[in-house]
């Protein structure tokens, strides 16, 4: 069974540009979450999508947005990139939202470098 896949794995952009990252969850998983990981702030929750609807949002500016498609694949977009957006962006999926004891499965991440 294939794991969570993220594309691209590495990305270099310049300030002011925008970027779109993609995440394909494990087959049958309907919940997709995004996290940002930086050396200074650690892992921080961005947002969660379930059944094409955003269910939870972290404390990030509106430049960070996302969406989920009917096949549960998800994209996140960052507009007007800033140097501080350089990070490892991790996607995680799980089958359902509320099932007791269910864990999230993380992808390998997309490493974004903003110059």
Residues that bind another protein (CB under 8 A): 4, 31, 33, 35, 42-45, 48, 50, 55-56, 58, 90, 92, 94, 97-98, 100-101, 103-109, 111
Residue 54, C-beta contacts closer than 8 angstroms, at least 6 positions apart = 47, 48, 66
Least distance from another protein to the Cβ atom of residue 80, Å: 25
Query: Measured between alpha carbons, how far is 26 from 31 in angstroms, rounded to an integer?
Result: 10
Q: Of 14, 70, 23, 80, whose CA–CA distance to 46 is shortest? A: 23
Q: Which is nearer to another protein, 62 or 100 (CB)?
A: 100
What is the sign of the dihedral through the CA atoms of 52, 81, 44 and 20?
positive
Least distance from another protein to the Cβ atom of residue 78, Å: 19
Q: Which is nearer to another protein, 4 or 21 (CB)?
A: 4
Least distance from another protein to the Cβ atom of residue 12, Å: 16
Q: Which is nearer to another protein, 94 or 112 (CB)?
A: 94
Query: Measured between alpha carbons, how far is 74 from 33 in angstroms, rounded to an integer?
Result: 9
């Amino acid at each position: 069974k294939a794991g969570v896949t993220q594309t691209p794995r590495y990305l270099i952009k310049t300030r002011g540009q925008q970027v779109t990252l993609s995440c394909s969850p494990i087959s049958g998983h309907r919940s997709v979450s995004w996290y940002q990981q930086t050396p200074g702030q650690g892992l921080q929750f961005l947002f969660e999508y379930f059944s094409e609807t955003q269910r939870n949002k972290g404390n990030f500016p509106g430049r960070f947005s996302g969406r989920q498609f009917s096949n549960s694949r998800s994209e996140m977009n960052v507009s007007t990139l800033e140097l501080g957006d350089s990070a490892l962006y991790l996607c995680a999926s799980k089958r359902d939202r509320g099932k007791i004891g269910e864990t999230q499965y993380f992808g390998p991440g997309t490493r974004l470098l903003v110059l």
